[in-house]
Amino acid sequence: MTSRTLRTLTVLTATATAALCATAHAAHAAQDTGRRTPGIAAAWARAWNGTDPQALGALFTADGTYTDEAVGITFRGRKEIAGWKARADTLIDDVHVTIRTTRLDGDRITVRAVYSGHLKGAPKPFAVPMTTELDLDRNHCRIAADQDHYSLATVLTQSGLPADWTPPTS
């Protein structure tokens, strides 16, 4: 990579970060009314609902963590987090997060949502309540930690799968 290309990438990254931070700050101010979803939470849902795994990873700090409490796994850093989204997309058709409410308290956004999709090979789709806690960096520009809470047992029951079902490894 040439130094010119590297400078261009650095400028583009800085511009994208500034835009994300501006959106986050505007949404943070709007959140004080209790009526709007903070920009970073809306971007998080859009990333889950989209098809680009990198979009999810890009929302996190470089050392950010993503914990899916239902399956008991934590991913560290943007690359692993993007990998988690890519893996979810290979296992779940039509994965979707629908935000119902959000609550901002300091550097934490609590998101109440519906998590839905169709596990590949399952007879039926699922739609379960989910609570996510998004801990933000000090500038409220990026997610430092994400913890998803939902019932895996309910996902499997709604999907028509046995309680001991595990996803394929490949």
Residue 68 located in a structural domain: yes
Residue 97 located in a structural domain: yes
Q: What is the pLDDT of residues 83-100, one digit of tens each?
A: 999 999 999 999 999 999
Q: What is the pLDDT of residues 34-77, one digit of tens each?
A: 446 789 999 999 999 999 999 999 999 999 999 999 999 999 99
Quick one: pLDDT at residue 11? 40
DSSP state letter for 40: H
Residue 26 is part of which domain span? 3-159
CATH, residue 86: 3.10.450.50
Q: What is the pLDDT of residues 119-157, one digit of tens each?
A: 999 999 999 999 999 999 988 889 999 999 999 999 999
Report d(CA 46, CA 21) in Å as an integer: 16
Number of domains into which the chain is organized: 1
Residue 86 located in a structural domain: yes
Residue 115 located in a structural domain: yes
Residue 106 located in a structural domain: yes
Report d(CA 146, CA 111) in Å as an integer: 10
Residue 21 located in a structural domain: yes
Phi, psi (5° rounding) for residue 43?
Answer: -65, -40
Residue 164 located in a structural domain: no
User: Any bridge partners for residue 149, and if so which?
Assistant: 131
First to last CA, the chain: 33
Among the listed residues 128, 127, 132, 129, the one whose alpha carbon sits nearest the alpha carbon of residue 102 = 132
CA angle 62, 46, 33 (to 5 degrees): 95
Are 132 and 148 in contact by the 8 Å Cβ rule? The answer is yes
Are 43 and 59 in contact by the 8 Å Cβ rule? The answer is yes
Residue 142 located in a structural domain: yes
